[in-house]
A and B are shown apart, each in its own frame.
Chain A
Amino acid sequence: MKYFYSHLIKTETLLSRLDELKLSREQKLYLAKQLDEIIHHEIMDAVLLKLTEEDKRILWTKMVAGSSNDILLEFLNEKVDNIEKEITVIFAALEDELGQDITEALVLANERM
C-alpha cells in the first residue's frame, strides 16, 4: 500500500539486509508486517502531533473521501512547515534503530554457522 509519505522513505537498505537472514516466506511476512506498522505508526504519530484538532478532522475527512496521496501531502504542507523533511528525519532514525536490530540478528545467525 502506498501512503502520502511512501516516496519520502527508502526501505531498500532494511529489506536487502533482511534478505541476508535467509528467512522463510512466513518469517518474512511476519517481520514485514511488524516493520510496516512500526514505520506507519511512528510517522503518523509525528505528523498528527503537528496538527490542530480541526486539521486532524479535515485530514480524516480527506482520507475517508479517498483523496489522493498528492492531495493529502499538499494539505499537510500547507499546515505544517517542512513536514516532508520531518518525515525523512523520523524515518532515518527508525532506519538506524531497526537496522541495528537486524545487525544483532545477523550476528546470531553467523554464530550458528
Chain B
Amino acid sequence: MYFTSHSSHYEHLRKKWTQKRKNSRDKFFANHEKSLRRAALGGLGGLVLLTTPGVPGVAASAPVATNSTVRGEEDNNILLAQSLKGLLPTKTVSLTPEEEEKITALLSQKLNLEVSVRLSGIRLNKSYGLIGGEQHLYRYPGDNLYQHFNSATDWAMYGSAGIAPHLGAWGYFAPSKDQFTQEDSQREKYYLAVQTFLAPGFAENVDKYRDFFKFRKMLVVNPLSGQAVVAVVGDAGPAQWTGKDLGGSPEVMQALGLASGPRKGAVLYFFIDDPSNIAPLGPVKI
C-alpha cells in the first residue's frame, strides 16, 4: 500500500525552496565572506546586513538580542500586568471613574505617555472591553491585500485575516498610491475600530465627533500579558450585536498577543494626548 502525504504540493515546494535558500546563502558567503569577516573584525557587525538567522561565521560579533534583553522586555510586560491586576474588576464591566483615574495614571507613568479617558471633552462609552480581530482596509484606490506586506513573512503572519469589502469609516487612507505615505501605511497597519456611535454626545455632535475620532491616537493594553500597542482609530464599529467593544487590525492583535485562537480578549483602551505626534505607532516597548 502506498502512503501519500496530504500535503505533497507543500512538501514539493518546501524541499525545493529549502534547497534554493541554502544554495543562495552559500553562494552569497562564497562571494562575500572575506568582506563580512573583515567588517566583523572591525567591530561593525556585518550581520546587520543579513537580518535573517543562522548566518555562519559572524554570529560571534553580531549585534543580536541576548536572552537577557529579550527576557527583560517580557519581565516588564509581566510587571505591568501585575500592577494592573489589583486595579481591575473581575469582569469586563465599565470601569468606575476612580478605577479609570488610577489606571490611566499608572499607564502614563509606566509607559511615558499622556494617557487619558477623555480628550477635548470627548470619551468613548467604555475603556475596558472585548477586542476582536478585524481585516485589513483598502488604503488607496487600486490597493489590494498583497500590497500591504513588506515581505512574504508579513503576508504569512497577517494575510490570512483578509481585506474588508468596505472602506474604513473615513474612506481611503490616501487619495492615491502616489500620495500614500509611510504615516498612512502605519495608520492602516495599527488601526482600531471603535464604537464612535456609542460615545456620549455623538448623536448631537456628529461632525465634531467624526473629526475628533479620525486617526485619533490610542493606547490599548492587554492586562493579562501587559502587552501594549499605540494605534489610531481607523474605522467605526463593531456593531453592538457582536458582543465586542472594539476591533484591532491583524498587527494590533499580534502586538497584544491575541492574534491566535479566537482572536479576541479583554483590553484596556484610552486616548493618548500627543499633539506633537511623537509616540510612534506599534507595540510599546516597556
Contact = CB atoms under 8 A, between A and B. Distances in A.
Interface of A: 1-2, 6, 11-12, 14-16, 18-19, 21, 23, 25, 27-38, 40-42, 44-45, 48-49, 53, 56-57, 59-61, 63-64, 98, 101-102, 104-106, 108-109, 112
A105 B7 CA distance: 10
Binding site secondary structure of chain A: helix
Contacts of A40: 50, 52
A41 B25 contact: yes
Contacts of B38: 53, 57
B149 A15 contact: yes
B8 A38 contact: no
B20 A34 contact: yes
B255 to A, nearest CB: 16
A36 B8 contact: no
A88 B28 CA distance: 19
Contacts of A15: 146, 149, 152, 155, 159
Contacts of B52: 33, 36-37, 40
Contacts of B151: 1, 6, 11, 32, 36
A108 B9 contact: yes
Contact of B17 (A38, A42, A61): A38
Contact of B156 (A28, A38, A56, A98): A28
B8 A32 contact: no
A105 B12 contact: yes
Nearest to A23: B10
A37 B25 contact: yes
B31 A45 contact: yes
Interface in B6-40: 6-10, 12-14, 16-18, 20-21, 24-25, 27-28, 31-32, 35, 38-39
Interface in B129-167: 144, 146-147, 149-153, 155-157, 159-160
A63 B49 contact: yes
B51 A1 contact: yes
B152 A36 contact: yes
B226 interface: no
Given A31-B10, A98-B20, A104-B12, 17 more contacts: A1-B150, A11-B149, A19-B159, A23-B10, A27-B10, A27-B14, A28-B156, A31-B14, A31-B17, A38-B24, A45-B32, A57-B39, A60-B49, A64-B48, A105-B12, A108-B12, A112-B8
A19 B152 CA distance: 11
Contact of B9 (A11, A30, A42, A109): A109
